[in-house]
Structure 1
């Protein structure tokens, strides 16, 4: 994903919200967007683990 202007992206997010949205709705949208971007950056940087690795680390059955 290419780097985008934060203000432009914030405006797009706001424009997609319904007219009767709350501040919590806006903050949730920002939170989700930030989490997705962080996850994509982790994948791009190779900071990933397989489900099997995570299960083994926490002693969970497969």
Structure 2
């Protein structure tokens, strides 16, 4: 597993030369959310598409 420092370095290496601080922060934010989602999936903390559709259809009525 990569350290945070390695992840940030990797993200920085993939930014364009014209990237702004906002671009860098957004890339880090997206990476963090992806890591959290993968961790939740690994722990079985997910909701199926079917359950979400039932929930939203029920809430909409």
Normalised to the residue count of structure 1, the TM-score between the two structures is 0.86
Note the C-alpha offset of 1:49.
1.1
Q: Identify unmatched segments of 5+ residues in structure 1.
A: none
Q: Identify unmatched segments of 5+ residues in structure 2.
A: none
Say what the alpha-carbon RMSD is for the aligned residues. Answer: 1.1
* Count of aligned positions: 58
Higher relative contact order (CA 8 A, sep 6+): 2
Find out whether 1:40 has 2:59 as its counterpart: no
Per residue, is there more helix in 1 or in 2? 2
